[in-house]
Amino acid sequence: MSLEEPEPDVPVVDESLAVEQSPDELAELLGDLAIDREEHLNAPGFVVRPDEVQDALFRLRDEAGFDHCACVTAQEYENRYESIYHLRKFDDPTQEVSVVVPAAKDEPVSRTAEPVFRTADWHEREAYDLVGIDYEGHPDLRRILLPETWQGHPLSLDYDQERPQIVTLREHANPLQADQRDEADADTMYLNIGPHHPATHGVLHVKTVLDGEQVVDVESDIGYLHRCEEQMAQQGTYRYQIMPYPDRWDYASSGLLNEWAYARAAETLADIEVPDYAQIIRTMGAELCRIASHMLAVGTFALDVYGDFTAIFMYAMRDREKVQNILEDLTGQRMMFNYFRLGGVVWDLPEPREEFFEKVRDFVDDLPEALQEYHDLISSNEILQVRTIDTGVLPPEVAKSYGATGPVVRGSGVDYDLRRDDPYGYYSELDWNVAVEDGCDNYSRLLVRLREVEESAKIIEQCVDLLESWPEDDRTIQANVPRTLRPDDDTEVYRAVEAAKGELGIYIRADGTDKPARFKIRSPCFSNLQTLPEMSNGEYIPDMIAALGSLDIVLGEVDR
Amino acid sequence: MTAGGASLASSLAAFAPVVLQSDGGGSGGAGPTLLPETIANLLGLQGVLGDVVGGLIGAFIIANLMLATTAVAGPWAKRKITAAFTDRIAVNRIGPFGLLIIAADAVRLLSKELVVPEGVDRPAWDIAPLILPFSALLGFAVIPFGSGLQLADPETGLVFVFAVSSIASLGLIMMGYASNNKYSLLGGLRAVASNIAYEIPLVVTAASVVLFTGTLQMSGIVEAQTAPLVTIAGVSIPSWFAFVNPFAFVLFILANVAEVGRNPFDIPEAPTEIVAGYQTEYSSVYFVLVYLGEFIHIFLGGAIAATLFLGGPAGPILPGFVWIYLKMWAFFLFTQWARSAVPRLRIDQFLDVGWKGMLVLSFANLVLTAIIVGVLAQ
């Protein structure tokens, strides 16, 4: 695999596809396929018959350029099931369209979208697992988050939470059972990597088939850290009770980035305008989190490749520590911040402000030197280059089809960053660049992260300047938001932010109460992890481990 | 040819007689008295009884010396060294500089439960961890520590030390196979692959030293390095083979690092890939034995390198024993330095380096050395 030349970037798509289509033009394009039309707050929604899903998606992808299937949301209504395919364009993510596919209440069957977007594979498995829609033609429709033996679908309406899950031991597959291969398959060996393994960064179980030292096939088995985050969010009120949960998705110091995903979706839903001052604080906090998160990613990636608790890992932890001290000053917490509020942030910068600014500036000023150290130790190390260049290759078209985002897709040369392309916060007012590398390999993903730390530092510096000169009487940290939010019945929205790992999106459907009727989390790690077989089949075990490290997954976010 | 080169050549010529008298063998009686003999004399024992008692006590002393060294290196020095490289403090709570952690760790490790996994191949699984430290300790039998500390000085000393230290490979594959664990199996196979790939360059490079000395006897090799190489302003630099042939020294150290399985060549263990490989299933006492074995192997590697290339126990002022001890620790420090700083190679790249790089270079070194020694002998 590593010997293949990365495919040339993009040009397959012709120019006309980048042109923005109005909802009416899209309706015209879909023609008879669209049997009804809905309005979601972020995009027009077209209702499509369950057996014509593929036609509609193919048409939107090939003729209108919607090449990014960001998310698949499934939900159950009183009278029907529904799957929503949230599509957008890698070239311009502000262009969105939702394909709404209803399915019958008594027999929820819907055609799979897997042939159109590879990413639908896992998303539909999750929809089947949690909601219970049967995707006809799906290559491998099994439960993904819950155990194989689970009874019922927890997010369906008639699910009885009180009912104990009594499953006899006999029905559980024994992961340790003897691996007896038949004669025909005598050349390969099956190996369980994880759920407890030093390189899986948490409880990931990679079922690996080896031919000698080479990987023939890998299959990720996830769900060990499933904590029903979506359901918990559905039981919380918009205003206060949901905000603490995002901190626990990607818990490796990206808390504020995650909070922003919920804040953005809920603010769009409830039509809340966030004051500029709060937006700047949010931007600064989010970028600090991004640095902390990337430091951890670089450190653990080096750990995976180097093998022991090496200097790089400790240096990365040391620099992350500095960020966490700043975040602690700002939010009062080191990891579980709970700092954002709908309409702003919970409190202003710590007093004395000068001291805080100085601390942040000191950190930002020291960063170039620290980064130089990383470049000396890691990226310019010849052995590391031998290990990472041209291994774990992920061609851009494959990455897009799997819905990979963040540093993973940017390491494959796809220039996609929601901070710039679908602006929110204060990013559009600031001067910074998107880091893109077109090597498509483990090394490019490492470089992207290191360069993003640099860009984040630029953003933080500008935010500090702005905050320092902000007029004292205009420091509004929160908009005026009613104590209880009750968005109108049947309003739907999908909104995403650029989290450390990629596009972190939230879909919310309101039902007129103060709690969401459906709360769906589109986790970047979930989609990114799906690309692992593409990157590692045919490679050596160490390269598979390196590829896994370069994906930078956090299982808390994969499993939610 | 420069003046320096000329003096180098003239001092190299000093070896020529040694080469010529090679078939006579090193005269055993010429070296210092061996340790068993000294002990027997002290106890006033003679004959077979003296040999047996002296040999046993001598072996006891040397083995315990090495075990004590490993005890300091494993639980304490390794942590302190790694901590120094990674901006940490490491053990400092028990005793001065945290030194008593050695006792605490020994108790902790030995009192842990010995988990015997289902389906292990019993005798092999139990014997393997014993083989590892024993093969390394056996090697020390012929190492000349100076100050009269040498257990035996056979004419085939160098061959003996390589032979016994590679018994460890047998232990490794036994561990890998008997553990009934796929990670262990992969680790065991990797260990054998790496030992084969790197043992050849190691021995061939050592052979280039033998070309100079004309003897395989360890004391003879040490003695050959005592002659001054050059004298600069009254300070005479001895003709240690690390100075005579630095290229061979570098090759030898690299092959040695691979042989003892340290970074960047720790492929057989590779904790992040195959979870410590062959030692995955070992706990408690067996784990301690494996660990001991690895560390004694590092020190043995250092001792061989010191004897072959760094004049053995030679050094100014301090007694010989201290010098060779320092040289062994220097090698240990080097392995720990590499561990903290150098990425691990991939298994195929690692074998490429061994078969396509080191092997070729070591043979080139051998041939060149043979030509130079041959020309000088004329």
> Does B176 contact chain A (CB < 8 Å)?
no
Task: Please judge whether B271 and A198 are an interchain contact, meaning their C-beta atoms are less than 8 angstroms apart.
Answer: yes
> Is A541 within 8 Å of B274 when comparing Cβ atoms?
yes
pLDDT interval class at A10 (50, 70, 90): very low
Which carries the bigger pLDDT value, residue A272 or residue B26? A272
CA–CA gap between residue B241 and residue B365 (Å, rounded):
13
> Measured between CB atoms, does B352 come within 8 Å of chain A?
no
Comparing A305-314, A532-541, B294-303, B310-319, which segment has the lowest mean pLDDT?
A: A305-314
- pLDDT computed for residue B364 by the predictor: 92
pLDDT tens digits, B96-126: 888 898 889 889 888 998 888 888 888 889 9
Kindly list the residues from chain B whose CB atom is less than 8 angstroms away from the CB atom of residue A386: 345-346, 349
- Please say if the pLDDT value at position B374 is more than 50: yes
A191 and B183: CB-CB below 8 Å?
yes
Nearest CA to CA, how far is A191 from chain B (Å)?
7
Indicate the residue of B82, B87, B183 with minimum beta-carbon distance to A318: B87
A84-88, A373-377, B303-307: least confident range: A373-377
Q: What percent of chain A has pLDDT over 90?
A: 22
- CA distance linking residue A152 with residue A2, whole number of Å: 43
Query: What is residue A162's predicted lDDT score, i.e. its pLDDT?
Result: 86
Closest CA to A118 of A546, A533, A496, A494: A533
d(CA A164, CA A174) in angstroms, rounded, equals: 21
Model ipTM value: 0.76
CB distance B271–A307 less than 8 Å?
A: yes
Tell whether the model's pLDDT for residue B263 goes beyond 80. Answer: no
Give contacts of B 187-216 with A, CB under 8 A: none
Q: Which residues of B touch A176 (CB under 8 A)?
A: none
pLDDT at B12 over 50: no
What digits encode the pLDDT tens for the residues B174-183? 998 898 888 8
* Nearest CB neighbour to A386, from listed B182, B183, B349: B349
The three-class DSSP label of residue A303 is helix
For residue A478, give the DSSP letter: B
Rounded to an integer, the average pLDDT of A57-79 is 88
Average pLDDT, chain B: 82
Residue B67 near residue B61, CB atoms below 8 Å: no
For residues B280 and B18, which has the higher predicted lDDT (pLDDT)? B280
Confirm or reject contact between B89 and chain A (CB < 8 A): no
Q: Is omega for the bond preceding B17 within 30 degrees of 0, making it cis?
A: no
The tens digit of pLDDT for each residue in A494-540 reads 999 998 898 999 999 998 888 999 999 999 999 999 999 988 888 88
Q: Are A513 and A486 in contact (CB under 8 A)?
A: yes
Please check the confidence at residue B229 and state whether its pLDDT lies above 80: no
Q: Do B273 and A318 touch (CB under 8 A)?
A: no
- Min CA distance, A198 vs chain B (Å)? 5
Pair of tokens at residue B258: 């691979």
Q: Do A303 and B272 lie within an 8 Å CB cutoff? A: yes
> Residue A383 and residue B342: Cβ atoms within 8 Å?
yes
**SS3 state at A494:** strand
Cβ-nearest to B182 among A191, A198, A308: A191
Average pLDDT over residues A106-124: 89
Q: Is pLDDT above 60 for B21?
A: no
- What is the dihedral sign for C-alpha B305, B310, B312, B315? negative
**Higher model confidence: residue A180 or residue A154?**
A154
Q: Could you count the other beta carbons within 10 Å of the beta carbon of residue B214?
A: 24
Chain A nearest CA to B272, separation (Å) = 5
Q: Which helix (H) or strand (E) holds B228?
A: strand B228-232
Instruction: With residue B294 as reference, give the H or E element that holds it.
Output: helix B284-309
Q: Using one digit for the tens of pLDDT, what is the confidence trace for A197-244?
A: 888 878 888 888 888 888 888 888 888 889 889 989 999 998 889 999
Range of the domain at B49: 3-377
Q: Which residue of B has its CA nearest to A212?
A: B186
Average pLDDT of the residues in B323-330 = 90
Closest by CA position to A236, among listed A342, A142, A160, A320: A342
Test the B interface: residue of A313, A314, A548 with most B CBs within 10 Å: A314
Asked if B357 has any chain A CB less than 8 Å from its own CB, the reply is no
CA distance A158 to A105: 12
Q: Is the pLDDT of residue A8 over 50?
A: no
Residue partners of A382: CB distance under 8 A and separation at least 6: none
Residues β-bridged to residue A39:
A44
Is A473:A480 a contact under the CB 8 Å cutoff? no
Smallest CA–CA separation between B337 and chain A, in Å? 10
Q: Return the closest-CA partner of residue A482 out of A264, A244, A270.
A: A270
Three-class SS state of A48: strand
Bridge partners (DSSP) listed for residue B232: B235
- Judge: A311–B340 Cβ closer than 8 Å, yes or no: yes
Q: Which residues contact A63 (CB under 8 A, 6 or more apart)?
A: A17, A29
Both structure tokens of A282: 């949010």
- What integer pLDDT is reported at residue B11 of this predicted model? 44
Segment A264-293 shows an average pLDDT of: 91
Number of structural domains, chain B? Answer: 1
B272 inside 8 A of chain A by CB: yes
Orientation of helix B182-213 relative to helix B167-178, angle to 10°? 180
Query: Looking at the DSSP assignment, which residues form a beta bridge with residue A193?
Result: A206
Q: Considering only CB atoms, which chain B residues are within 8 Å of A198?
A: 271-272, 275
Closest CA to A374 of A292, A456, A287, A302: A302
- Could you give the percent of chain A with pLDDT greater than 70? 92
Give residue B299's pLDDT. Answer: 92
User: Is there a contact between A170 and A177 (Cβ–Cβ < 8 Å)?
Assistant: no
Flag whether residue B356 sits within 8 Å of chain A, measured between CB atoms: no
Compute the count of residue pairs across chains A and B with CB atoms less than 8 Å apart: 84
A234 Cα to chain B: minimum distance (Å): 39
Q: Which residues of A touch B342 (CB under 8 A)?
A: 306, 381, 383
User: Could you give the domains of chain A?
Assistant: 15-136 (3.30.460.80), 229-236+273-478+529-555 (1.10.645.10)
- HSE toward the beta carbon, residue A148, CA cutoff 13 A: 10
Query: A247: closest CA among A501, A556, A559, A507?
Result: A556
Residues 306-335 of chain B with CB under 8 A from chain A are none
Q: How far apart are the first and last CA of chain B?
A: 19
How far apart are the C-alpha atoms of B222 and B158, rounded to whole Å? 12
User: Which residues of chain A are at the B interface, by a Cβ-Cβ cutoff of 8 Å?
Assistant: 189, 191, 197-199, 213, 302-311, 313-315, 318, 377, 381, 383-384, 386-387, 540-543, 545
Q: Tell me, what amino acid is at A392?
A: G
Angle in degrees, CA B147, B298, B321, rounded to 5:
10
CA distance A208 to chain B (A): 12
Q: A143 vs chain B: nearest CA distance in angstroms?
A: 28
Average pLDDT over residues B55-61: 88
Give yes or no for residue B307 having a pLDDT over 50.
yes
CA distance A54 to chain B (A): 40
Q: Which pair of tokens denotes residue A543?
A: 């390269």
From A549, which residue of chain B is nearest by alpha-carbon distance?
B272
Asked if the model's pLDDT at residue A428 lies above 90, the reply is no
Per-residue pLDDT at B32: 63
The pLDDT of residue A176 is above 80: no
Q: Is B344 on the interface with A (CB under 8 A)?
A: yes
Please name the amino acid found at residue A231.
Q
pLDDT of residue A263: 92
Between residues B341 and B294, the one the model is more confident about: B294
Q: Supply the mean pLDDT for chain A.
A: 86
Indicate the residue of B88, B263, B346 with minimum beta-carbon distance to A387.
B346
- CB–CB contact A541 B349 (8 Å): no
Both tokens of A24, joined, read 């009416």
pLDDT of residue A182: 59
Confidence of residue B10 (pLDDT cuts 50, 70, 90): very low
pLDDT band (50, 70, 90) for residue A294: very high
Q: Does B338 touch chain A (CB under 8 A)?
A: no
User: Chain B contacts of A303, Cβ < 8 Å?
Assistant: 272
Q: Please tell me which residue, A558 or A148, carries the higher pLDDT value.
A: A558
Q: Which of A310, A383, A542 sits opposite B273 (nearest CB)?
A: A542
